[in-house]
């Protein structure tokens, strides 16, 4: 089945902002479904946040993250498009996928992980296309109509080191929202054999050292699953 592309940063924004607006009694944040505007084939399909099946052991759990992070229900859309013309999953086919999201109680930060089992050389192409997108999409709006654009720079050394030598190839970057330095995402993409992984930590008005620490924790936990 083909992966269903929507917008990475737009969906993450919904996740973290919904958490930031919610109180103790607020429902768990969800992502919104949007139509694809990329060249990747798509189909109307959702993936359970609990992700039963072969990919489940590769997914983050609440216990992997700092205290206060809770699984977010309804994280059903995959997120691979960094700007209007660069979708990391463009042209690829996947036999399975899974996605999980976590939001901190009280808001301000969230974590998302996406896993594909690709066909053919799709996993390697996924990383290569993500790397190209992170370089080409700096400052370019995502094409969703939101006007959301990020300036990308390399991951901090300590955050990148959390990935170690996981997988066969890897890439990543820090994206700071154009026009609002309060909105930052740290993303890593790698593949191990036919499995492609994207993991991201996002902060809204989150001190940068705290976001770096969260990203490093999430990246290290994911890498451990592939050790």
- Please list the pLDDT of the chain residue by residue as tens digits (227 residues): 433 333 444 445 444 544 444 443 333 322 222 223 232 323 323 333 444 578 999 999 999 999 999 998 766 555 677 877 788 888 999 999 988 999 999 889 999 999 999 999 999 999 999 999 999 988 887 665 566 788 999 999 999 999 999 999 999 999 998 877 788 999 999 999 999 999 999 999 999 999 999 999 999 999 999 98
State the pLDDT at residue 75. Answer: 65
Question: Which homologous superfamily is 5-225 in?
Answer: PknH-like extracellular domain (3.40.1000.70)
pTM flag (> 0.75): yes
The two tokens of residue 130 are: 């993500």
d(CA 163, CA 156): 12
State the pLDDT at residue 35. Answer: 27
**Which 3 state secondary structure label does DSSP give 72?**
coil
The two tokens of residue 138 are: 């700096």
State the pLDDT at residue 52. Answer: 53
The two tokens of residue 91 are: 């042209």
Provide φ and ψ at 9, rounded to 5°: -75, -30
Give strand pairing partners of 182.
none
State the pLDDT at residue 178. Answer: 87
């Amino acid at each position: 089945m083909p992966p269903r592309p929507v917008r990475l940063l737009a969906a993450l924004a919904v996740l973290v902002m919904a958490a930031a607006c919610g109180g103790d009694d607020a429902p768990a944040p969800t992502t919104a479904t949007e139509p694809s505007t990329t060249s990747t084939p798509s189909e109307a399909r959702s993936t359970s946040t609990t992700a039963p099946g072969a990919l489940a052991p590769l997914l983050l759990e609440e216990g992997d993250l700092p205290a206060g992070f809770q699984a977010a229900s309804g994280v059903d859309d995959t997120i691979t498009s960094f700007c209007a013309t660069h979708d990391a999953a463009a042209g690829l086919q996947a036999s399975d996928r899974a996605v999980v999201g976590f939001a901190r109680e009280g808001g301000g930060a969230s974590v998302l992980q996406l896993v594909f089992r690709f066909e053919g050389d799709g996993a390697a192409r996924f990383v290569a296309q993500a790397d190209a997108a992170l370089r080409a999409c700096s400052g370019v709006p995502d094409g969703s109509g939101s006007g959301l654009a990020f300036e990308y720079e390399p991951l901090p050394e300590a955050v990148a080191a959390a990935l170690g030598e996981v997988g066969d190839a890897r890439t990543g970057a820090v994206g700071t929202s154009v026009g609002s330095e309060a909105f930052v995402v740290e993303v890593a993409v790698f593949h191990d054999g036919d499995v492609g992984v994207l993991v991201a930590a996002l902060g809204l008005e989150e001190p940068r050292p705290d976001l770096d620490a969260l990203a490093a924790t999430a990246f290290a936990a994911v890498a451990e699953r592939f050790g």
